[in-house]
Structure 1
Amino acid sequence: MSLADDTTEDHGDHGGHHLPAVEDWPRGFGEASWWPFVTAAGAAGIYLAAALFVLGRGTEPLVGPMVGPAAIIAGVVVFLVGLYGWLYHAFVVNFWEQGTDEHGAGTLRLAMILFLVSEVATFGAGFVYYFFIRAGEWSHEGLPHLLSSLVLVNTGILIVSSFTLHYAHVALRKNNRTRFLQLLGLTLLLGVVFIGGQVLEYYEFIVNENFTLAEGAFASAFYGLTGLHGLHVSMGAVLLGIVFVRGLKGQYSADRHTSVSTASMYWHFVDVVWVFLVVVLYVGATL
């Protein structure tokens, strides 16, 4: 979405690319700023499909047994189409098109904020589920030691990555491109290390601790929330990777940095969500 901004060259034929996301859609909006909402609608459809799948099970199903699976496929398709349109138009098309003006950049930042609001609702639904199951009788039986040194180190890595990204953006606004690329590259590296740490944590829990989804309601909430967050960090790492490549090609300056700004908003959001996850899931489960 909001990362279409920053090149000043106009190569006219878009490098031979004539894909749907390049078009002005909906007509009159100038940028494909509705793609994030299509993505969010697809994600919401997946949650709805999961509910339909549950309603289609049991001895007296409320819907047909194939309604849920069909809705899941439809939700995934809408989600992927929206994600394609968003990322392609935001990150790729401007390799060949002139960037947005100041008004357009502000609109794109607003679109990112609205998208993050929908993300807050998505994570909020997961937390509501977790708080609901915590409202009943609670037992620590079967739970592994959640608050390990690995979790603490991983949390520190993600927090540090927020600072390195912030100061990378500051350096760019001061036209210090070398420092910008160094700090942005460090941020990307820290993000990849965090993802690796979460994979290692899952391995420890599932293989060594035998803590799987079959362990009950807490396990489903734990893997659902941490897995959803891991997916968001992975997507954030992809966005930062594209921004880094564009930075290497000299497409950012002190005056043109909407892509960096909006990618930073997304990355800081997933960092804050992780801190909240640690407090609620890891610390809260032991109390």
Structure 2
Amino acid sequence: MGTATDTGEDTDAHDPPVGMDFPLGRDEATWWPIVCAIGATGLYLGAGLYFLGHGEVAIIPGFVGPVVFGGGALVFLAGLFGWLYQGFVADFWTRSTDEREPGSLRGAMYLFLATDVFTFAGGFIYYFFIRAGGWPPGEIPELLTTVLVVNTALLVVSSFTLHFAHSALEKGNRRRFGFLLVTTFVLGLLFVAGQIYEYHDLIVGEGFTIASGIFGSAFYGLTGLHGLHVALGTILLGILVVRAHLGQYEPGRDTSIATVSLYWHFVDVVWVFLVAVLYVGASVTPVL
């Protein structure tokens, strides 16, 4: 027959690694993924409502879609921050390196990137489908611009700076690690700003929007999806910069650096493929 002490030890043995959950305050895994899912639902719902409010016959007020989309983005980012904070930062100083499982976390990132490949594949299949028809499908604006070249250079260079930042950390060079990590974060911000500038130039200057035929939907669908990934990656890099400033990284404590690096390199590769297939490919008219 068990004692009270035995019961307490048994309960502790089944406690989840993240401890008390928010907002219920119970020993459950975490509710933050559900918050993220609600936010992501708002993103998709807002995008759908936008078309309902901006078609030839507007069914709802035009502001509803952007408001729902913006609210979904805020909820998603809040859920992501809470999830990462609870899982990796809240009890950071009380954990030892023996408690870490970097292999499983890297494996989880590989699985996530595998699902992301199929997410992008859906958009590219749509583009290849319309590309196989008569080309061009209407008037296409000039896509091969200086902004594209600069943005591509920024993203490619950022992969190198992040790689060498991680290498510097492994060698114990904290100063070089911090400098290159901040450089990568700034390059990510510049890329996001460059894409916003490109969108502004296309929409305001050229009148080319997501409703500009089948190519408009393909262009903004693919570049917008990639832009969201870069924005998310930049937020993750910002978290790494803050944690590096707090002294939370050293050789042997670099799992989040490694996983974010995998994500960032993936985003870089997708962009190079996107430039070759979408930007350059759309500008090439087949000779019949």
CA distance in 1, matches of 2:46, 2:174: 46
Q: Do structure 1's residue 219 and structure 2's residue 222 form an aligned pair?
A: no
Q: In the alignment, what sits opposite 1:62?
A: none
**What letter matches 2:163 in structure 1?**
H
- Larger deviation: 93-102 or 103-112? 93-102
Normalising to structure 1: TM-score of the pair? 0.74
Structure 1 residues 40, 113: closer, same or farther in 2, change over 3 A? Answer: farther
CA distance in 2, matches of 1:258, 1:158: 22
CA distance in 1, matches of 2:186, 2:234: 9
Q: In the alignment, what sits opposite 1:8?
A: none
Counterpart of 2:230 (choices 230, 233, 248) is 233
- Shift of residue 86, structure 1, vs aligned partner: 3.4
Counterpart of 1:167 (choices 164, 170, 175) is 164
Q: In the alignment, what sits opposite 1:19?
A: 22
Q: What is the 5 A alignment of 1:37-56?
A: none
1:163-218 Cα deviation digits (max 9, x unpaired): 00000000000010000000000000100011110000001100111111121111
Find runs of 4+ consecutive structure 1 residues off by over 4 angstroms. Answer: 20-26, 34-51, 76-82
Structure 1 residues 137, 38: closer, same or farther in 2, change over 3 A? Answer: farther
Q: Do structure 1's residue 178 and structure 2's residue 175 form an aligned pair?
A: yes
CA distance in 2, matches of 1:170, 1:149: 32
CA distance in 2, matches of 1:239, 1:180: 16
CA distance in 2, matches of 1:176, 1:285: 45
Alignment RMSD (CA, Å): 3.5
Normalising to structure 2: TM-score of the pair? 0.74
Structure 1 residues 153, 46: closer, same or farther in 2, change over 3 A? Answer: closer
Structure 1 residues 88, 104: closer, same or farther in 2, change over 3 A? Answer: same
**What letter matches 2:215 in structure 1?**
F
Answer yes or no: is the 8 Å Cα contact 1:161–1:191 preserved in 2. Answer: yes
Answer yes or no: is the 8 Å Cα contact 2:32–2:80 preserved in 1. Answer: yes
Counterpart of 2:146 (choices 138, 146, 149) is 149
- Shift of residue 137, structure 1, vs aligned partner: 1.6
Answer yes or no: is the 8 Å Cα contact 2:137–2:214 preserved in 1. Answer: no
Q: Do structure 1's residue 126 and structure 2's residue 129 form an aligned pair?
A: no
Q: Do structure 1's residue 252 and structure 2's residue 249 form an aligned pair?
A: yes
Q: In the alignment, what sits opposite 2:58?
A: none
Q: In the alignment, what sits opposite 1:64?
A: none
- Larger deviation: 79-88 or 120-129? 79-88
CA distance in 1, matches of 2:188, 2:78: 25
- Shift of residue 89, structure 1, vs aligned partner: 2.9
CA distance in 2, matches of 1:38, 1:111: 20
CA distance in 1, matches of 2:22, 2:32: 14
**What letter matches 1:139 in structure 2?**
P
Structure 1 residues 189, 96: closer, same or farther in 2, change over 3 A? Answer: same
Counterpart of 2:264 (choices 259, 263, 267) is 267
Unaligned residue ranges in structure 1 (runs of 5+) = 1-16, 27-31, 55-68
Unaligned residue ranges in structure 2 (runs of 5+) = 1-19, 52-64
Q: In the alignment, what sits opposite 2:80?
A: 83
Q: May I ask how many residue pairs the two structures share in their alignment?
A: 250
CA distance in 2, matches of 1:41, 1:99: 34
Structure 1 residues 106, 277: closer, same or farther in 2, change over 3 A? Answer: same
Percent identity between the aligned chains?
57
CA distance in 2, matches of 1:101, 1:198: 42
Answer yes or no: is the 8 Å Cα contact 1:172–1:180 preserved in 2. Answer: yes
- Shift of residue 269, structure 1, vs aligned partner: 1.0
Matched residue SS, 1:138: coil
Q: Do structure 1's residue 198 and structure 2's residue 206 form an aligned pair?
A: no
**What letter matches 1:117 in structure 2?**
A
CA distance in 1, matches of 2:202, 2:278: 14
- Larger deviation: 243-252 or 176-185? 243-252
- Shift of residue 153, structure 1, vs aligned partner: 1.1
Matched residue SS, 1:143: coil
Counterpart of 2:185 (choices 161, 178, 188) is 188
